[in-house]
Copies of this chain bind each other. A is one copy, B any other.
Amino acid sequence: MLIELRPEAAAQPIVDLVQAVPGLTAWPLRYGERRFVVVSGDEDLVPGFGAGDVIATHSTRERGYWLVDREHRIVPDTVRVGGVSVGRGHPLWFAGGPCALEETDAAGRTATAVREAGGHALRGGLFKPRSSPYHFLGRGRSGLADLEKIGHASGLPIVTEVMDPRDVEAVAEVASCVQVDARNMHNRVLLAELGRIGRPVLLMRGLRAGVPEWLRAAEFVVAHGNPEVILCARGVVSFDDTLAFQPDLGALLAVRRLTDLPVVFDPSHCAGRADAVGTVALSAVLAGADGLMVETHVDPGSLYRPGDAHQMYPIDRLAALFEAANVVRDVRDAL
């Protein structure tokens, strides 16, 4: 439940009153002029409040989110990543780069090539979610300094992942946008931590999360103070194994109806094979994506995980893909 306060009301006494009830937790939240107390717990336990302090209580029982609902006009419809606006009404946003940041020199040349192809940001992770301890887990914290250098050298803002709440602060210092992997979409500890930083959060959809679950994950970030969330679809699990994941076009359409948050698409993890990346990328634009985040690399053969090479989009065809995306976007807008 959200308790919306009058401009002159003090938040702390309300927080204290709620917290005194066993089973409830509360904290204050402010967005511009609007001030709230966020309450976790069963709504029936929340005491009533006089009209003196409280404008309204917003029930979240039915859907589990309220702040990200486009009807409530709390979150922005544009998020800026390193100076570039992402969202409806803006040009398509393009990010490119390897899944995992590896050798610094190649990453730097990749960044330059992405920028020259028309890209607006470099992607590259240091902490990779893996299902086995024997898989390459990413370079870890020690790569942060390199990532910063590559960003400076290429002039591109950095989008990079975080997995451990203890790394959030350090990563946010280097990254222009902090990415949450699909497998962490449900990690409320991490999401709460990301609600406390002053950086946009790129929130991947869980591999089998429904759209409302995805929006509730975004709500976790927003309810802890950070309104700058970019949703990122990347396909969902399916019995159909023709692609790595099934393109979730319906979710893109739905998200546009339900929230103002920008939404982008990762065609590389979705397709899982370079020759299908273009098709799913353009389909996502048809379905309303505000941008694309594509895996690409100047030298796929040099990757620490050789298996990743086959889903790298050829960097010399990246500019053509971005142009095609713009054509398709015009078709969409005219439909």
User: A residues bordering B, Cβ < 8 Å?
Assistant: 1-2, 22-25, 38-42, 44-45, 60-61, 64-65, 102-103, 129-137, 140, 163-166, 183-184, 186-189, 192, 208, 210-211, 213, 216-217, 219-220, 223-224, 236-243, 246-251, 253-254, 271, 276, 278-280, 282-283, 286-288, 304-306, 320-321, 324, 327-328, 331-332, 334-335
**How far is B2's CA from A103's CA once the two chains are assembled, in angstroms?**
24
- Contact in complex: B135, A22 (CB < 8 Å): no
Q: Which of B38, B136, B250, B331 is within 8 Å of A240, CB to CB?
A: B250
Residue of B nearest to A325 (CB): B331
3 smallest A-B Cβ distances: which pairs? A64-B132, A242-B250, A23-B304
Report B-chain residues with C-beta under 8 Å of the C-beta of A243: 249-250, 253
Residue of B nearest to A217 (CB): B131
- Contact in complex: A208, B239 (CB < 8 Å): yes
Number of copies: 4
A-B contact pairs, 6 of them (CB 8 A): A40-B137, A64-B131, A208-B208, A249-B280, A327-B331, A328-B328
- Contact in complex: A253, B249 (CB < 8 Å): no
Q: How far is the CB of A142 from chain B (nearest CB, A)?
A: 10
- Contact in complex: B41, A304 (CB < 8 Å): yes
**How far is B248's CA from A247's CA once the two chains are assembled, in angstroms?**
8
Report B-chain residues with C-beta under 8 Å of the C-beta of A240: 210-211, 236, 248, 250-251
